Chain A
Amino acid sequence: MGLVLASVFVLLGVSGVFLFQKDGNPYRTVERLKPADYLENGNSLRGNTYQLEGIIASSLGSNPEKGRLFSLRAAHGEKEWPLPILVPPGFRDVNLQKGQRYRLKVKVNEGGLLEVEEMTKS
């Protein structure tokens, strides 16, 4: 009896891990961006949505209507790739600073830029 109930606790623990896995990566169902493919021909990926993870490297520019443009050091495999990401004005409350690590859901927009749809600290 005790063993059965102990197993129930383990089962609950494991099910909890699965249940709340989105805590770890909320975009796990979204395809990962391959930086090499993007840098080689970003235009061919227009309209697609990807997830990526990286560290904010620097601010490249800012426009009140279009948003903020950052350079992101995206990790893929064992390499890090510098990628430009556009953070739309809707995220103006997010205090983006150099060195912060983020998980992003991005869409390759009509201009070929990676436009942030969702973002969360990792």
Chain B
Amino acid sequence: MLSLENVELAVPSSEVPLLSGITLHLPGSHFGAIVGPSGCGKSTLLKTVAGILPHTGGTIHWRGRNLDEQDLDPYELGYVPQFTCTQPRLTVGENLQYAARLRRTYTARQVQEVVQAVEEETGLSDLHDRRAGVLSGGQLRRLGLAMELTTNPSLLLADEVTSGLDPKSEEEITALLASLAGQPGRLVLLVTHSLRFLDQYDSVTVLTGGRLAYGAHPSGLMSYFNVASPEEIYPALAERAPSDWAEEWISSPAELGFEVEARVEDWVIQTQGVNEEKTSVPGFWSQAFIWFCRRWKLFWRDRTQVILQFALLLIFPVVVTLFAYQGLPAVRNMTMSPDTDVVQQLRETLDFTVQSSRIGTLVSGLAMFQVILLALMGSNNSAREVVGDRGILEKEKLAGLRPGAALVGMTAFLSLLVLVQSAWMTLFVRAVCQFPGDLVGQFLPFALITAAMTSLCLAISSWSSTSEQASLGSLYLVGFQLPLSGAILALPEFLGTVIRPVISAYWAWSGYLQTLRDTRFYDLVRAITETPMAGSQIAIWILALHLGFGLFLAHLGIRRSDWR
């Protein structure tokens, strides 16, 4: 049984509470509708029950348990939001399989059985192999519901899942929800603007201005509001202040029309199995692995992304080598003999200066060019990774996905991209331009700059509200790397000391050039740049810190609640 006592939700941005004085008692095996005009707090109430929005007053009990003290367990709750929460590139069956595997510890056979059962229950059996991206609105809503049913929740909350559907689909979804409420002990709550199918509901909760105007069987609805048809209820609500309606409901409520107490025994019996269920949420590493598997599959299903990744992988190193496709030029050294006459010495010095400028700029530029292109690839890897599927992530967190497991899954996938990108860039440019120096020493700063930018852009993605915002933020991050690295123009000494620690490109550039230390190329780069060169160990250390900091911020960003 769901029991709300005087529930209130106040937010600092509004003087009037979004919800106030909501008292409701709903039994199990019950289909309730929450209706009301736009902005009355229907979805807010549903999110409050789900625990997405923490109430600021009153109490909510589920099966006799105070949810302030012990929150709903993920498998107890099914929440279907307004937006689509499916992966369009996965089939119906795959969406359901991953939903089941992320939420419960099932064997492969059990997953198959659960998927089959919920497909039959929701009428999706014929669409098992169809991609979610080509489903109709009604089919998508069914899939959203089916994904929640994989954990067999006892409290199913559906937020406007019938909105925007054609009348037939709306009727079918409402009938489906009614049938789902037929399962013993399951309470289904539907938020809807529509008053078309009142006869389907066991109860109707009418809200106005965040206050409860009615909460009983639909049969008494029209007489209570003294209207001839359901369509007249909203205009009638507008005629009086929400507080008047709320006071009237408290002082003279209509007959409930359903038993609440009689069902209590049902939920007492059902809660006996809860402790067993608690252990069935998949472990951290299992969730991370499932997340990784799904991400891997999604990557290969997104043809545009695959082509873009391969294009960047192949084109970027080629662009770098255009500047030295015949290999790095040979360095002519000055005569070491002290007997050389002054004119000859001056001529040699002049030639050497010209050469230093040309070759030093080339080597430094090639190093920085690789760094910047890898940084760009890093930002492309992750700028939309979190924000692009934020809704799905929030949904899955509510269903029991650990933010840390999601991050590990993402990191594992992104690490593969980073390794391929940095290894190919290092090898290709080294082979074509014939860079001397330690291969591993050159790969490390390149792998770390790519990883650091990937993690920092992942953090930006996890804190952004939109994909555009994340892309722009990531682009700025990469864009500022070149000028602030000091590789092209040296920064004033104080400014350089302050800024360099946070510029990943500087450390990667320095770390890479350190591998040329025993060659003349290093001398020539030193001759043309005033920016101090960091040692290879400190460069690796700082880049690793940037990577860790990005992951830390990304974890915080993924962990925060961001329902839109």
List residues of A whose CB falls within 8 A of some B CB.
2, 5-6, 9, 12-13, 16-17, 19-24, 56-60, 71, 95, 97-101, 121
Q: Which of B510-564 contact A (CB under 8 A)?
A: 517-518, 520, 522-523, 526-527, 534-538, 541-542, 545, 548-549, 552, 556
Supposing A20-B537, A58-B336 touch, asked if A121 and B517 sit within 8 A by C-beta, the answer is: yes
Report whether over half of chain B's contact residues are helix, strand or loop; otherwise say mixed: helix
List residues of B whose CB falls within 8 A of some A CB.
333-338, 352, 501, 517-518, 520, 522-523, 526-527, 534-538, 541-542, 545, 548-549, 552, 556
Supposing A17-B538, A23-B537, A121-B523 touch, asked if A98 and B556 sit within 8 A by C-beta, the answer is: no
CA distance A20 to B434 in the complex (A): 30
Residues from chain B with a CB closer than 8 A to the CB of A17 are: 538
Least CB distance, B61 to chain A, in whole angstroms: 31
CA distance A20 to B543 in the complex (A): 14
Q: Which single residue of chain B is at the shortest CB-CB distance from A121?
A: B517
Which of A2, A23, A101 is the one whose CB lies under 8 Å from B538? A23
CA distance A21 to B541 in the complex (A): 12
Known contacts A12-B545, A98-B336, A101-B526; 15 additional CB pairs below 8 A are A6-B549, A20-B541, A58-B336, A58-B338, A59-B338, A71-B338, A95-B520, A97-B334, A97-B336, A99-B334, A99-B527, A100-B523, A101-B523, A121-B518, A121-B523
Whether B333 contacts A97 by the Cβ 8 Å rule is yes
Residues from chain A with a CB closer than 8 A to the CB of B552 are: 5, 9
Residues from chain B with a CB closer than 8 A to the CB of A2 are: 556
Whether B545 contacts A16 by the Cβ 8 Å rule is yes
Least CB distance, A19 to chain B, in whole angstroms: 7
Whether B537 contacts A99 by the Cβ 8 Å rule is no
Which of B335, B535, B549 is the one whose CB lies under 8 Å from A9? B549
Residues from chain A with a CB closer than 8 A to the CB of B352 are: 99
Whether B523 contacts A58 by the Cβ 8 Å rule is no
CA distance A79 to B155 in the complex (A): 82
Residues from chain B with a CB closer than 8 A to the CB of A9 are: 545, 548-549, 552
CA distance A98 to B345 in the complex (A): 11
CA distance A99 to B334 in the complex (A): 8
Residues from chain A with a CB closer than 8 A to the CB of B534 are: 23
Supposing A9-B545, A97-B520 touch, asked if A58 and B537 sit within 8 A by C-beta, the answer is: no
CA distance A13 to B500 in the complex (A): 12
Q: Which single residue of chain B is at the shortest CB-CB distance from A56?
A: B336
Q: Which single residue of chain B is at the shortest CB-CB distance from A1?
A: B556
CA distance A33 to B67 in the complex (A): 74
Residues from chain B with a CB closer than 8 A to the CB of A24 are: 535
Least CB distance, A95 to chain B, in whole angstroms: 8
Residues from chain A with a CB closer than 8 A to the CB of B527 are: 99
Q: Which single residue of chain A is at the shortest CB-CB distance from B517?
A: A121
